[in-house]
Amino acid sequence: MRDMIVTRRPNALRLFFALRGSILPRILGSLATCTALAMAVTLSHGELFDAKITLTPVPFSLIGLALAIFLGFRNSAAYDRYWEARKLWGELIFRSRSLARQLLTLTRMEAPPALPPIDALGPIDVRHAIIRRAIAFAHVLRQQLRGIEAPEELRPWLTDAELAAVANSRGATDLLLRLSSRELGDCLRAGQIEPQIAAEVDKQFTGLAEVAAGCERIASTPIPFAYTLLLHRTAYLYCFLLPFGLVDLIGFMTPFVVAIVAYTFFGLDAVGDEIEEPFGVRAHHLPLDAMCRTLEINLLEAMGADELPIGLEPVDGWLH
């Protein structure tokens, strides 16, 4: 699984030949087909079945300009989705850290006997249980966005009863927030937390719910398919017909020019497709595994754990 490229920018010459992070492998088949067609047109001088196909460069100039503008607009919309998703996960980390800080520094809650201990922490109290659910919340949201099920990842953070409830829930993130909010309410009614502090803690629950809703909105509402399909078809038709408009002007250079134009248009189209869905596991998607691990380290450290997990590092330039 590859999620994000993390590597230093090479020099200009190495950058020109770099394949890591390049969109070229994804469009190589289409690019080769288009270039091969351009070579065939060049060798036949634009003739097809003894009929000369004559096209002037004028319509290609007009269509190419419009196509470039529309591809740029579509890629801007796709990047907006990507950047909004990154901001939402940044908000998740911020809210979780704030939740842990408020609970651990502003409250004194007694430990309920029903909660099991974590080996790394020893006996825990309500505050630790809520913080553990915040870590589980991030993992559940990541799994939900990527369409995977990995209950073993949640076992260190939830009780058996909570694991069963999550497995049977259609809204696991909301379920975890309800469990924590219910415990907060119990502590408030028992006088173990001041109302003002409880209100501030509840704001963090609301913020986490907002993050989950925002991520679900991005994942469930793609850019309209008809718009994407129109640009995709137009880009391919333009590049496949371009050799007929260039062969009489530039002759043997036609395949070279067509390859450059096709690389640009096919590449922009493919990049837009890739970053449109930022929660996947391709090269330019968000490194959700690494962000969840960062959250684990931060919150475990706040709870006083003696042993912390190791942060995920890039492997061959890829950060998961």
Per-residue pLDDT in tens (0 to 9) along the chain, 320 residues: 445 545 555 555 555 555 566 778 888 999 999 999 999 988 888 776 667 777 778 888 888 888 888 888 889 999 999 999 999 999 999 999 999 999 998 887 654 433 444 443 344 588 999 999 999 999 999 999 999 988 899 999 999 999 999 999 999 999 999 999 999 998 888 888 899 999 999 999 999 999 999 999 999 998 888 888 888 899 999 999 899 888 888 888 999 999 999 999 999 888 888 889 999 887 778 999 999 999 999 999 998 888 888 876 766 555 65
Whether 18 is in a domain gets the answer no
- 167 and 300 share one domain: yes
For residue 318, the model assigns a pLDDT of 57
* Number of domains observed in the structure of the chain: 2
Domain housing 260: 4-11+23-81+224-276
Whether 120 is in a domain gets the answer yes
The first and second tokens of residue 219, run together, are 């994942």
For residue 154, the model assigns a pLDDT of 93
- 243 and 266 share one domain: yes
- 166 and 312 share one domain: yes
Whether 199 is in a domain gets the answer yes
- 40 and 174 share one domain: no
For residue 316, the model assigns a pLDDT of 57
- 231 and 205 share one domain: no
- 163 and 257 share one domain: no
For residue 58, the model assigns a pLDDT of 84
Judged on CB neighbours under 10 Å (0-12, 13-18, 19+), 138 is buried
- 141 and 237 share one domain: no
For residue 119, the model assigns a pLDDT of 41
Q: Tally Cβ neighbours within 10 Å of residue 114.
A: 8
CA-to-CA distance for 236 and 129, rounded, in angstroms? 55
Provide φ and ψ at 47, rounded to 5°. Answer: -95, 140
Whether 17 is in a domain gets the answer no
- 297 and 160 share one domain: yes
For residue 116, the model assigns a pLDDT of 44
Dihedral of CA atoms 153, 289, 148, 87 in degrees, nearest 10, equals 120
Whether 93 is in a domain gets the answer yes
